[in-house]
């Protein structure tokens, strides 16, 4: 009886080990995003600071949100942000422009990964520029 039980347990061990490995799915890579440094642009005669965030390397069909933000470094004011859906580039405009100041751009890109799809958001930045 003991010998039969040992043989039965020994026969089941390889099956238990393979079922755990077979259930694991590979983790899909997350997307990369391209954040521009802050830069001064003219919008209808008014100088503003702008930054953009666009999807980079990934399955672009999974991208669902891009958010770009600009803030005056050292300012107590919150960053100004703008978002866009899907693979469209997010672009933010910050005013008033203050010559000689340092500006900071940051962003966040979100994509669905895995099965079932789960949102994965990637923070990007900061990137600073003085002008």
Cα distances from 68 to residues 4, 24, 26, 54, 79, in angstroms, run 67, 35, 30, 9, 10
33-130: CATH topology is: Immunoglobulin-like (2.60.40)
On average, the pLDDT of the chain sits at 83
Contact 106, 33 (CB under 8 A): no
Spatial CA neighbour of 90 closest among 117, 124, 45, 46: 124
**Domain locations in the chain as residue ranges:** 33-130
pTM score, whole prediction = 0.76
Which tops the pLDDT comparison, 23 or 80? 80
């Amino acid at each position: 009886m003991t010998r039969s039980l040992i043989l039965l347990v020994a026969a089941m061990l390889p099956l238990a080990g393979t079922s755990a490995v077979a259930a694991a799915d590979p983790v899909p890579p997350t997307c990369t995003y391209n954040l521009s440094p802050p830069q001064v642009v003219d919008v209808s005669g008014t100088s503003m600071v702008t930054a953009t965030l666009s999807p980079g390397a990934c399955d672009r069909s999974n991208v669902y949100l891009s958010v770009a933000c600009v803030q005056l470094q050292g300012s107590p004011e919150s960053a100004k942000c703008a978002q866009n859906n899907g693979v469209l580039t997010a672009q933010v405009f910050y005013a008033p422009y203050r010559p000689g100041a340092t500006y900071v751009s940051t962003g966040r890109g979100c994509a669905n990964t895995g099965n079932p799809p789960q949102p994965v958001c990637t923070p990007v930045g900061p990137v600073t520029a003085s002008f």
